[in-house]
Amino acid sequence: MIAVAANFADPKENLKVLDIAPGARVADFGAGSGAYSFAAAALVGREGKVYAVEVQKELVDTLASAAIEQGFSNIEAFWGDLNRVGGSHIAEASIDAVIISNILFQSEDKLSIAQEALRILKPGGTALVIDWSGSFGGLGPSAAAVVNATQGKSLFIEAGFKLVEECNAGAQHWGIIMRKP
């Protein structure tokens, strides 16, 4: 197992396991406030691109503005429905890596997220999947909503991925790296 971060989930540390190269094209599913998008944008550089897909429309504008303020011209933030295949609006087989952090527990259709990640990844592309390992007394999702690592692996394998590695994504999270064959 690769050690990623011993504390709360740290995007910069967690992305090290993906070996994102300058010029890469990365999708951040459920981009939220952009923590993973900004970390990925720094790695891909000016030649690369980060597609920040977010279902909450008000966060899309906030993220786009923050990217400009922080000098990231390589982030494209837009609305997408990850609960359906094709909902990211990203072209098929066009992405080198997908980041899926803290969205499985709140998804209506978890398998569609995995299928959409597989659809947009180039052959050999990787997905970093991170989610809460527990409820932690209300810090994380409700206990009923928690998707554990075993369930996460099964879900992505069912979608067609191959498991590469498990990784420690912080004290309250689990992480896996999956590859598109």
Signed CA dihedral, 136, 176, 19, 69: sign only: negative
Examine the pLDDT at 7 and tell me if it is beyond 50: no
| Widest distance between CA atoms in the chain | 43
Name all domains of the chain by residue range, CATH numbers in brackets.
Answer: 2-179 (3.40.50.150)
Q: In what order do the strands lie in the sheet with 75-79?
A: 2-5, 162-169, 173-179, 121-132, 95-101, 25-29, 49-54, 75-79
Mean pLDDT of 20-39: 97
* pLDDT tens-digit series, residues 48-69: 999 999 999 999 999 999 999 9
CA of 42: how far to CAs of 11, 36, 39, 70, 132, in Å?
Answer: 11, 10, 5, 11, 25
Taking only the tens place, the pLDDT of each residue in 108-160 is: 899 999 999 999 999 999 999 999 998 887 788 888 899 999 999 999 999 99
At 106 the three-state DSSP class reads: helix
Question: What are 154's two structure tokens?
Answer: 């099964």
